[in-house]
Chains A and B, each alone.
Chain A
Amino acid sequence: MMKTMITEMFGIEHPIIQGGMHYVGFAELAAAVSNAGGLGIITGLTQRSPEDLAREIRRCREMTDKPFGVNLTFLPIVKTPDYPGYIRAIIEGGVKVVETAGNNPQKWLPGLHEAGVKVIHKCTSVRHSLKAEAIGCDAVSVDGFECGGHPGEDDIPNFILLPRAAETLKIPFVASGGMADGRSLVAALALGAQGMNMGTRFIATKEAPVHENVKQAIVAASELDTRLVMRPLRNTERVLHNAAVDRLLEKERTLGPNLRFEDIIDEVAGVYPRIMTDGEMEAGAWSCGMVAGLIHDIPTVKELIDRIMVEANAIVRERLAGFVAA
């Protein structure tokens, strides 16, 4: 184990959080991560209704007696999900950690805090992290430019973003983006984080309930194989390169500033079940971090977390401490 402000806040053994991922964060993965001493996260909106989420929380509870969390993403979409219902399912399900993402979660904080739920908000900039702190979030997950999914529009990698966050924030934060192993965990801690959040790395594990093709695609990818899409819409997403992404980027080039979301709907809307469940790897654009280039195998979650902690320990004891002695 390794004690940090994050392990203490969430009651976990290792400072490792599994980030919420659409059509990946089911009970099987969350329970495996929590059982291995990290913090597993169920993706709230992958569940179609609050009742489904309540059922998923119960399923997770049957598989682990360790703490786990739920991700709740607040999106500016027309047909708003039943957020009060989802929050109720979280609180009544006894979940004590919520990872929020997207829009400002301020209006949901009092209810969650009253129920003893800790809130960690995903932020891609120091500016948003400060806002999260000001509205009362308990922690922040700082997403560097390397991260899969939405890295924001500032393009600041973690070597810069994490120290800036450490200089500015009072609440603890974990590093997200580019994290895969013990080396990245120690780097994150050195740069001021209190732990790390991994997404892509956890998809390529035995327990991740996704199609084998997805895991193989991550293992096969190099650090040059992700692309940024939807930048013209100021909704940038880092995805794994495939034929659909090429089509999407071609539309972005030809339509230029006239690009609208409707133009790329075939490549981005409703593609997650086809990719994650059915393994149709060319069906559309799916989030994947630059860190895919550092992922070469498909271990169990426990093997992964154990070896991260052994490696992290060896690095701080031998490599860094050795330098101090010399």
Chain B
Amino acid sequence: MNRVLAHTGARYPIIQAPMGWIARSQLALAVSRAGGLGVIETSSGETEICKSEIEVMRASGLPFGVNLPIRFLKDDAMLKFVCESGVRWVSTSAGSPAKFIAPLKSAGIAVYHAVPTLELAQKCVDAGVDGLVVEGAEGGGFKNPEEVSTLVLLQAIREKVDVPLIAAGGICDGRGMAAAFALGAEAIQMGTRFVSAAESPVHANYKNAIVDAAATGTLVLNQKSTPCIRALKSQSMLAVHQSGLLPPDAFKGIRQVYFDGDMEAAPALAGQSAGLIHEVKSAQRIIEDTVAEFFAISQRLGALASAHSFA
């Protein structure tokens, strides 16, 4: 039995990443309706809106998840709300999940923490998480400056822990899903792929910038300071890259990027998988195509192996 499916109640082990402002019910409902797991963000800090988005998800009766970015939560209010929200699966990120695990678990919620290193993975397992979201260096958004790619990180963690792993970073289709499963993952999480989904609430310019981006179309910024991020190349981000430092008010214009389509106003967070994304698709097609491709590859490789014995 796939443990991520058991924990989430989703039909397919495909999780939508919790992008701030973007991971709201318009996108999450489309993902959950298509059999994946739609997830609601709370990292935007827009507490009341996020709460009502969670209500919308609960009212749908579909499986869904919530993300709690520990460092960004002002108090326990959101944790309490989530514990009573009827959600079955929560991902925690940005900070130690230790204090969150007990209340969430006693509310019957499976807790997965997002980790960029083996060391943190082991700490989280010791603290009692139900699973991990393993975030390779390819991913977009807030990063650990010590870059270990999904290919190596997933295996390094798989060798040392037994909890279910959700692979994230560099995955946007059935090829990545099959590779992640070969490396020991039980599910995948996709961010950039869903930012560019038809139901994603962002401006068309953002979606088109992802579709147009080459594999070399992102930059790792602010690597020697915090927060280290991966974002799409733009004139303003190339300047940040040259200077090496992200200005303190860099995210001030984030809504202009997301909703007005001004791609120079702030970092347009995206992962290297932008180089593999060639069209805007509905969440349903993204999930159906991913699953179909995963099946096709599994069958191709299965035939490759079963036709020839290794004896």
- Listed in ascending order, the chain A residues whose CB lies under 8 Å from chain B are 1-4, 126, 144-146, 154-161, 163-164, 166-167, 177-178, 180-181, 183-184, 186-192, 222-224, 290-291, 293-294, 309-310, 312-313, 315-317, 319-321, 323-324, 326
Contacts and interface: CB of A to CB of B under 8 A. Distances in A.
Contacts of A180: 155
Interface in B246-281: 272-273, 275-276
Interface SS, B side: helix
Contacts of A290: 148-149, 152
A163 B151 contact: no
A321 B296 CA distance: 10
A224 B182 contact: no
Nearest to A321: B302
Given A183-B183, A320-B178, A178 B151 contact: yes
Interface of A is mostly: helix
Given A156-B272, A160-B275, A187-B182, A321 B298 contact: yes
Interface string B170-189: 11010110111111100000
Nearest to B137: A157
Contacts of B138: 157, 159-160
Contact of B136 (A157, A187, A315): A157
12 contacts: A144-B149, A146-B149, A157-B272, A159-B170, A161-B215, A186-B182, A187-B178, A191-B178, A222-B118, A290-B148, A316-B182, A326-B2
Nearest to B1: A326
B142 interface: no
Most-contacted residue by chain A among B175, B176, B179, B306 (CB, 10 A): B179
A4 B308 CA distance: 11
B59 interface: no
A144 B151 CA distance: 10
B182 A178 contact: no
A15 B181 CA distance: 20
A163 B175 contact: yes
Nearest 3 interchain pairs by C-beta: A157-B149, A159-B170, A190-B178
Given A144-B151, A146-B149, A178-B149, A316 B302 contact: yes
B237 to A, nearest CB: 15
Nearest to A157: B149
B126 interface: no
A1 B307 CA distance: 10
B273 A160 contact: yes
Give the one of A154, A167, A181, A190 with max B CB within 10 A. A190
A166 B181 CA distance: 19
B303 to A, nearest CB: 9
Most A CB within 10 A of own CB, among B169, B299, B305? B305
Interface string B66-78: 0000000000000
